[in-house]
Amino acid sequence: MLKQNLVLIGNGMAGVRTLEELLKLDADRYNITVFGEEPYGNYNRIMLSPVLASEKTVDEIMLNDLQWYEDNNITLHTDKKVTKIQRKEQVVTTDCGMSVPYDRLIIATGSTPFMLPIPGANKEGVIGFRDIKDVNTMMAATKKYEHAVVIGGGLLGLEAANGLMKQGMTVSVVHLGASLMDRQLDTPAATMLRKSLEERGMNFLMEHSSAEVLGGERVTGLRFNDDTEVKADLLVMAVGIKPSIALAQSAGLHCERGLIVDDTMQTYDPKIYAVGECAQHRGIAYGLVAPLWDQAKVCANHLAEMGIARYLGTVTSTKLKVTGIDLFSAGDFVGNDNSEEIVFQDVSAGVYKKVVLENNIIKGAVMYGDTADGGWFFQMIKDEMDVSEFRDTLIFGQAAGSSDTDPLERIAAMPDDAEICGCNGVSKCTIVNEIKAKGLTTLAEVQAHTKASASCGSCTGLVESVIAFATGAELAAPKAKPVCGCTDANHEEVRQGIVNMQLTTMKAVREQFNWTNPDGCASCRPALNYYLLCAFPLTYQDDPQSRFVNERVHGNIQKDGTYSVVPRMFGGLCTAQNLRDIADISDKFKVPEMKVTGGQRIDLFGIKKEELPAIWHDLSEAGFVSGHAYAKGLRTVKTCIGKRWCRVGTQDSTGLGVKLEELTWGSWMPHKFKIAVSGCPRNCAEATIKDFGIICVDSGYELHVAGNGGITVRVTDFLCKVETEEEVIEYCAAFTQFYREDAHYLERTAPWVERIGLERVKEALETAEQRETLAERFAISQKNAQIDPWKERAKGVEALEFAPIKVSALGELV
């Protein structure tokens, strides 16, 4: 049979996937020619973010290299743009004058980034985030410039911001809405995501509307509609995409938002098909991978003239990672007047789940932090399953109500048609059958033969469990999460290695544990800096560039780019002179607003960055030190007045609070740390939701640990009861040091204690000798920790770098 000519315009994921499916059905039907505008083979656009973050290389995200085209007798023309389709003659023409005839044509031109039509948008340094060229441009900018602004708080914008931050830039994300990722997350999940990203150093300017790009030939900043501005050496627009349909329109094909196709993926011209982001089917232009793969299968079926497949649309789910945080959403997770919600939330553990039901049928779900049951929920959404019988345990996942949560038995319990890989629509039985038929044993082999886990990678753990189930192999115990994408080593391995091998510099740690990025990234540098500071408190030189911006400048950055400054008030006590000094300083610097905080301090808002050294100089001269409201360390010691004035107070809670704050202030820790002392069981200081809390009673002091306030409250665990203030102080120092030495960086005491168990904490503090040893190490660490960085360095903006200058000998335990 004489071969027909098939031309594919667009060398992207959807178009080439269509060719892959076609080759499976009928490899000899067509002479195939592919035109691509980029100088590469077919690569995974989903993985551009890891390339920007230096977690992967371009070679590693290639789906089909140049050799694949040769092996399948496909003619590939790279760096060539098709500019004309002559439908009557059935010929396509490129920008270099090349013409190629076709019998069948696939248009898979994808989409282009939407660029805001604001003045200055054409300046150098203003780009989208769509292809390898954009990544290369951003990577080059990180070598020369410092400040990046990303417009768009969706998935793409956050991934771009994360990558630029990992390359060392200071990044601000501008978002028009009030919540991040508002198409994939509801408000509580978005709030948790924003908080987590802010803790990693990402800045957000929410509900800001961009008005003008500032600068000459190159961007220098961005102005908003309210006339505020933000500095920008690089401006990335990630505000959405639009289907690339100009070529189709010029050929007279019917287009609306996208190129209109029917259920066979044909356009109004029966010889021309369209797939991917440029196509519009039943009013929808899809931007997710799973619908594109479904379209590719249908299109290939008709190109092979089998004529039995129909594309009826795709029920979509989103399972993805945003800077290491697992997210899942599917269906209608917002709900309506007729729906009900079942919600589980544990802020300390970083977990949020919501299921929306109508008449006991799941309509939608959203998950943050723990997405293991995402596929199970999605299958029930598609099947419209009635969940009445297990509604009470539904939110706790597939294993709820069963004492057996073994991963292999969970796989065994799944139905054969359970979807394992959402991106590629691969079911459990497909993977199992391929494994048994072809003797597959590795993840790479399963990816190659089934495409499962070959796109976004979020289902990799599940696919590995299916492999173990199908082959009868032992399922390896899950490895603790690595410190970051630069290394496979986890926090425990790194902390132990630093101590056991006496690794005294970040460079030595990175070399020992084979860091892929020799300079580290924004995630691992603060962690390593803390671990080294904790291990070698008297010899390690703190690295200011490995701290978040708030710690570097000793102030909390606010939504308008100014900072708030919080002087410390030990135990909440102050004098009339203290208040006069703060008032005078406020007048001098024209502070627009002051507020008494929940931590018994006064917060001064609206301070410009360049004013920080001077205002801290004046506060220091008046006897104030930083309240460390920004620190991964002690924030506050909240107290009630106790028996000094209160008629029901049992002990001097304020005096004890002052002693504890003098003991612990300035100490760097894995995360923020709060203490409270309540003078009686009425607990006015809320000691039972603090990291270390004391309840005073007539006979002594009850000690509590690992509490947490916030959206979801975790009440403390009772540690023990002691009789004297000296014992309270010793226990506080010992517990604090054990937490400092054992927890992972950015792990609060609540999830830390839940992870290791309260019994281990009690064992570590069991004897007086153990407590004394830990307390002594804490006292040593405080010799370089309790600092006033402005006392001797308030001479200019250069003073905004952290400097360990000792100004107090506080820290003695008795």
- Residue 347 is predicted with a pLDDT of 78
pLDDT digits (tens, 9 = 90+) for 501-522: 999 999 999 999 999 888 888 7
Mind listing the pLDDT tens digit for each residue in 674-730? 999 999 999 999 999 999 999 999 999 999 999 988 656 788 999 999 999 999 999
Q: Are residues 723 and 771 in the same domain?
A: yes
Parallel/antiparallel/unpaired status of strands 30-35 and 4-9: parallel
Q: What is the sign, positive or negative, of the torsion defined by CA atoms of 711, 196, 405, 429? A: positive
Residue 812, domain member (yes or no): no
DSSP annotation of 641: -
Task: Answer yes or no: is 395 within a domain.
Answer: no
Asked if 694 and 777 sit in the same domain, the reply is yes
* CATH code of the domain in which 670 resides: 3.30.413.10
Q: Is the pLDDT of residue 804 over 60?
A: no
Residue where a domain stops, chosen among 630, 652, 681:
630
Q: Is residue 376 part of a domain?
A: no
Query: What pLDDT score was predicted for residue 429?
Result: 85
96 labelled ligand-binding: no
Angle at 352 between CA 177 and CA 751, to 5 degrees: 120
Tell me the pLDDT of the chain averaged across its residues: 87
Q: What is the CATH number of the domain that holds 577?
A: 3.90.480.10
Angle at alpha carbon of residue 74, lines to 71 and 80, rounded to 5°: 130
* Residue 696 annotated in ligand binding: no
pLDDT band at 390 (very low <50, low <70, confident <90, very high): confident
**In contact, 306 and 25? CB cutoff 8 Å:** yes
pLDDT score recorded for residue 323: 63
Alpha helix ranges (H) inside 485-632: 491-500, 506-512, 524-535, 549-553, 576-588, 612-621
8 A C-beta contact, residue 524 and residue 490: no
Residues 232, 138: one domain? yes
Cβ atoms 725, 705 nearer than 8 A? no
> Whose CA is closest to 184, among 428, 27, 374?
374
If you average pLDDT over residues 293-302, what whole number do you get?
95
> Looking at the predicted structure, is the pLDDT value of residue 51 above 70?
yes
pLDDT in tens, 120-157: 999 999 999 999 999 999 999 998 999 999 999 998 89
Are 626 and 636 part of one and the same domain? no
Q: How confident is the model at residue 809 (pLDDT cuts 50, 70, 90)?
A: very low
Q: Per residue in 648-657, pLDDT tens? A: 899 999 999 9
- Report the relative pairing of strands 74-77 and 593-596 from DSSP bridges: unpaired
pLDDT at 83 > cutoff 70: yes
Q: What is the pLDDT of residues 325-352, one digit of tens each?
A: 788 888 888 888 889 999 998 877 788 9
Q: Is residue 582 part of a domain?
A: yes
pLDDT tens digit sequence for 5-46: 999 999 999 999 999 999 999 999 999 999 999 999 999 998
CA distances, 209 to each of 173, 261, 400, 770 (Å): 12, 35, 45, 57
Q: Is residue 552 part of a domain?
A: no
User: Is residue 273 a contact partner of residue 30, using CB atoms and an 8 Å limit?
Assistant: no
Phi-psi region of 235 (alpha: psi -120 to 50; beta: other; left: phi over 0): beta
Q: Are residues 642 and 734 in the same domain?
A: yes
Contact call for residues 468 and 432 (beta carbons, < 8 A): no
Q: Are residues 622 and 676 in the same domain?
A: no
> What is the H or E stretch that residue 243 is in?
strand 241-243
pLDDT score of 800 more than 50: no
Tokens 């379209």 label which residue?
A: 295
Task: Let me know if residue 532 belongs to a domain.
Answer: yes
Per-residue pLDDT, 475: 47
Q: Give the Cα separation of 210 and 503 in Å (integer).
A: 47
Q: Which of 207-216, 448-457, 632-641, 736-745 has the lowest average pLDDT?
A: 448-457
Write down the pLDDT at residue 403: 40
Residues 6+ apart with CB under 8 A from 212: 118, 119, 120, 222, 223
The predicted pLDDT at position 321 comes to 64
Residue 247 and residue 103 in one domain: yes
Number of domains in the chain: 6
Cβ neighbour number for residue 602 with a 10 Å cutoff: 20
Same domain, yes or no, for 650 and 776? yes
Which CATH number is 263's domain given? Answer: 3.50.50.60
Are 678 and 640 spatial neighbours (Cβ–Cβ below 8 Å)? yes
d(CA 751, CA 384): 36
In 3D space, the residue among 636, 713, 719, 634 whose CA is nearest the CA of residue 671 turns out to be: 634
Boundary of a domain, candidates 219, 239, 259 = 239
Task: With respect to residue 296, please indicate whether it lies within any of the assigned structural domains.
Answer: yes
What torsion do the CA atoms of 165, 171, 175, 181 make, to the nearest 10 degrees? 10
pLDDT at 666: 86
pLDDT of residue 399: 63
The pLDDT of residue 793 is above 50 = no
For the cut 60, the answer to whether the pLDDT of residue 790 exceeds it is: no
Q: Which two tokens stand for residue 405?
A: 């949560």
In order, the DSSP letters of 101-124 are E-SEEEE---EEE-----TTTTSB
61, pLDDT greater than 70: yes
- Model confidence at 400: pLDDT above 80: no
Q: Are the beta carbons of 340 and 427 closer than 8 angstroms?
A: no
Edge-to-edge strand order for the sheet containing 634-639? Answer: 634-639, 673-678, 692-697, 700-705, 717-722
Q: pLDDT by residue (tens digit) across 581-600?
A: 999 999 999 999 999 988 88
- The number of residues making up the chain comes to 814
- Residues 775 and 720 placed together within one structural domain of the fold: yes
In the DSSP assignment, the letter for residue 391 is G
Higher pLDDT, 656 or 426: 656
- 322 vs 47, which has greater pLDDT? 47
Q: Does 408 score more than 70 pLDDT? A: no
Give the domain range for residue 543: 491-547
Instruction: Give the pLDDT score at 466.
Output: 85
580 and 648 together in one domain:
no
Q: Bridge-partner residues for 82, per DSSP?
A: 94
Residue with tokens 């269906």: 331
Q: Is 456 annotated as a binding residue?
A: no
* Average pLDDT of the residues in 256-277: 96
Domain membership of residue 153 (yes or no) is yes
Q: How many helices (H) and strands (E) does the chain have?
A: 24, 38
The answer to whether 640 is a known ligand-binding residue is yes
Q: Are residues 235 and 259 in the same domain?
A: no
Do 75 and 162 lie in one domain? The reply is no
pLDDT exceeds cutoff 90 at 164? yes
* pLDDT score of 206 more than 50: yes
In percent, the amount of the chain with pLDDT more than 90 equals 59
What integer is the mean pLDDT of 251-272? 96
Among 190, 207, 239, the domain boundary falls at 239
